[in-house]
Amino acid sequence: MSAVYQSLTFAKAPAWEKVPVGAIDRFHWETADPYRPKSFFRLCFVKNEGVRVRLWSDETDTRAVVATRDGPVWEDSCLECFFQPETNGGYLNVEMNPRGVFLAQWGKGRENRVFTKALTDVSPLVSPLACESGWGVELFVPCALLEALTGTPFPAAAGDYRFCCFKCGDKTKRPHWAAFAPMGNNPPGFHNPAHFALLHIEEDQP
């Protein structure tokens, strides 16, 4: 495991200023003229409610063409969070563009992934995040969604999990691919759970 991110649980709305900032700064598959927008995230749990994530980037020349859920948002300016609630189990990938349009899938690897809307009516919630420069999104993954996908309770409690956050833009003017934890330079690229980071969640905060 190549990276570790330590965060907190909260009993109610997160105190975001207490949540550590992670940098999405491991770049992959670069051209001779690389583009490296500074991108970051904060992730925490709200106990018995779910996972909350804020992601943002200083990318300004954005692409936001995709307008419907589960479209190819990775071709746009895109921020992503992959979350694996159970060791060696499936993981949820949520990929989001500046409009707040998202793709959400579930599976154990790149192949045979299933859109979550085919498995449950419970949905991630995504909204644009106001930033001083660039753009961002806020993601909420309800406990009920993870419980529907795994078939087991998910109280959003302290413990160890696996995850990674990404920044990409396959069809932007300057394509780029970055991760919080290095994914290696060979396929399967971002969909490589063996390279996900450790997410260590500490006990509840008042």
Give the residue extent of every domain in the chain: 4-11+20-205
Per-residue pLDDT tens digits for 24-39: 999 988 888 899 999 9
Q: What is the pLDDT along the chain (206 residues), one digit of tens a residue?
A: 579 999 999 999 999 999 999 999 999 888 888 999 999 999 999 999 999 999 999 999 999 999 999 999 999 999 999 999 998 899 999 999 999 999 999 999 989 999 999 999 999 999 999 999 999 999 999 999 999 999 999 999 999 999 999 999 999 999 999 999 988 776 668 999 999 999 999 988 77
153: exposed, middle or buried (Cβ count in 10 Å: 0-12, 13-18, 19+): exposed
Amino acid at 15: A
125-129/102-107 β-pairing:
unpaired
Prior bond of 14 cis (ω within 30°): no
Buried b (16+ CB within 10 A) or exposed e, 97-116: bbbebbbbbbbeeeeebeeb
So what's the pLDDT on residue 188? 65
Backbone angles phi, psi at 117, to 5 degrees: -65, -15
So what's the pLDDT on residue 157? 95
pTM, whole model, 2 decimals? 0.96
Amino acid at 198: L
Residue with tokens 């970055």: 178
So what's the pLDDT on residue 29? 86
User: Any alpha helices (H) in the chain, and if so which ranges?
Assistant: 143-150
So what's the pLDDT on residue 57? 98
Q: How far is CA 61 from the centre of its chain?
A: 21
Fold of 4-11+20-205: Immunoglobulin-like (2.60.40)
